[in-house]
Amino acid sequence: MTMNKTKRSDVDVLTAIRDRRSIRRYTSEPVDDDTLHAILKSGLCAPTAMNRRPFHFVVIKNPEMLAQLAAGKKYARMLAHARAGIVICGDNTVEDRPEHLFADCYAATQNMLLAIHGLHLGGVWLGVTVESEWYHLLQEKLKLPANIVPTAVIALGHPAEERPLPETWESEKIHYETW
């Protein structure tokens, strides 16, 4: 992918944050490369500890590969019907403190989910438990080098479902000055 056009969203940042929901059903319409580029760029804009930027993203569009990965985890079945998957990985030789490696990768994951929503696509975060069967399947199928840790997967596409927005304000979770 060589293009580097600046995509814009017509959704302001607060609205995107408030209105984003996990979308697990997608239409057959493909996600074009400019849009994918804008999503990946959003991931690369995430803050990282000491600006080490340990993340790598594996983009998967091959339906066969998506289906093979989907089959490896019960709660990742929608990946088989997604138009693309993004596997967010961290290089543990670049960031050797696990808490920062995961924080950096998760910040990138959330940035991309917000970009997906802001571009009127839909996506869902799929968790990868360290040393789980899925973790090892991702390592094997994607031929990840030994120092590359898969931390999360995003399934995405054009949304084929609309989900209502729940009430998320919980005043008991907000503490001022002291607990």
Ligand X SMILES: Cc1cc2nc3c(=O)[nH]c(=O)nc-3n(C[C@H](O)[C@H](O)[C@H](O)COP(=O)(O)O)c2cc1C
Interaction site with ligand X (CB under 6 A): 21-22, 24, 75-76, 124-127
Which alpha helices (H) appear in 24-126, and where do they start and end?
33-44, 63-70, 98-118
Distance CA 109, CA 8 (A): 19
In the complex with ligand X, the residue whose CB is nearer, 22 or 92, is 22
Can you name the residues that pair with 86 across neighbouring β-strands?
A: 59, 154
CB of 156 to ligand X, least distance (A): 13
| Smallest gap from residue 78 Cβ to ligand X (A) | 7
Q: How far is the CB of 20 from ligand X (least distance, A)?
A: 7
For the bound state, the minimum distance from the C-beta of residue 127 to ligand X, rounded and expressed in Å, comes to 3
* Structural contact between residues 56 and 91, judged by C-beta atoms closer than 8 angstroms: yes
Residue nearest to ligand X as judged by C-beta position:
127
Position 115: which residue type?
Answer: A
Nearer to ligand X, 57 or 125 (CB): 125
Nearer to ligand X, 40 or 72 (CB): 72
Q: For 51-132, where are the alpha helices, taking DSSP H only? A: 63-70, 98-118
What is the distance between the alpha carbons of residues 20 and 141, in angstroms, rounded to a whole number?
A: 30
Q: Which is nearer to ligand X, 37 or 112 (CB)?
A: 112
137 within 8 A of 69, measured Cβ to Cβ: yes
When the beta carbons of 72 and 127 are compared against ligand X, the nearer one is 127
CB of 125 to ligand X, least distance (A): 4
